[in-house]
Structures are given as structure tokens and as C-alpha cells.
Copies of this chain bind each other. A is one copy, B any other.
């Protein structure tokens, strides 16, 4: 069992993750990049090349006006029946159905839907937390474009190239709890493909494609804390494990033809 030939590193690698506060309540039309930039400045951290900013989609969606006032929603017959069965608000379910491209499961009061972006998640990403009463929040129309816009504006303001991830928290089959994932990506490779490389034992890695953007988003959630109004995390010291070019959040969406669990 002694096949190790790669040098064994002695010095710890280090990643630092900061949860940034100081972002006020966001309303439609606000300039999210300006708000995020101000939060970075208020933190005293500045931005360094290679930093990754993770921004919860909620403030992006709000700024982009992706809000629906429930009193203005007329539920369909299907939404009304589903709501009655589940003891939920028919208007909110109507919004979920409008955001869905395809229903994956509709059972036990839960709607798991595929969004227009190709994400499969509860309620097609429609969410009533962290918004006003009688209002629900949708996912950004194009989270990759939102991330790219943030990246461009922050690059201009701070004069450095950073990565940007727009995040949301999704459930997963088989495991309890939700985890933060990347729904929009700009300026970094969302996947690290180790296939063809060799591990320290000399074995060729065959099934090792890591979803690093999702891991970055998950890491960021640990400092964001839902109840504390820290909608932005700054990750410093991330070393991409491969030299893959930057990609987008779409790269994380599995081709339906490969998916065994649609």
C-alpha cells in the first residue's frame, strides 16, 4: 500500500471566507454592484485578484424587480386545487406554476419543478422569505448575466479581476436540508475536471469532476446566516485546482439526456 510518490505538502493551504454586512434592504431598480462594492469598501478588505464574491440571488432578484405581488395574481384552477390539498396559498402556487418549465414531482404538498434555466428545485425557485408580506421573489431571469454584470462593474470599480457567483439554496434528493449552490457564475471555472490526471497513488482519476462553484457557494453560506442580513461573502485564497477557462452556471446543469432522476 505504499505507492505515494507525489511530494507531501507540509504548509497548510488557506482559504478565508468573509461574510459582508452593510447591505441595506434592496428595492427594484437598485444598483446591486454599487451596494456590493460599498459593502466591500465598508469591510476594509478591498478586492484582490482571484477573490470570489458570492451574492445571494435574493438581492439580485429584488434589484432586478423579480418580485410578484400576490394580490395581483389570479390563481388557475390547478393552482387552487393544489393549494386546497396542501393548505397553501393558491396565488403563490400559481406563481410557481408560471415559473416552471416542467413539473418533476408534485406530491405531499411539495412541487419540485424545472425552471426555465434548467434548475430543478422546490417551487421553481419562488420564495417568500426575506421579502415583504404578500410578495414573492423569483429567480433572476438570467443569473449568469447578473453575475457577469456584477463582475464587470466590480472589476471597473476596484481594478481587479474577481469571480462572481449568484447563489440560492436548493434541496437535494436523499439528504435532509438545503445547501447553497451556484445558479449564476462569471469569471471562474464552475467545474474542476480531474479526469486523466493521476492521484498521489498514481491511479488515473476517472470519475472526478468537482462542482467547485457549488462548493464555493456552500462555503459562503456558512458566513451568510439567513437571520443576519449578510447577503454577500468574499472568498479569498481560492486556488482553482485546474486551469480550465471560466464558465457559467449553465455548465452545472446536467444534460437531461444524462439525468437518471428527472
Contacts and interface: CB of A to CB of B under 8 A. Distances in A.
A139 to B, nearest CB: 15
Q: Per DSSP, are chain A's interface residues mostly helix, strand or loop, or mixed?
A: loop
Nearest to A241: B225
Interface of A: 1-4, 6, 8-28, 42-43, 45, 62, 67, 105, 107-108, 110, 112, 119-120, 122, 128-133, 135, 169, 172-181, 190-192, 194, 197-203, 205-212, 214-216, 218-219, 221-223, 225-230, 234, 238-239, 241, 251-254, 258-262
Nearest to A118: B174
A203 B4 contact: no
- The number of times this chain is found in the oligomer is 2
A97 B251 CA distance: 32
A21 B27 contact: no
A9 B261 contact: no
A190 B107 CA distance: 26
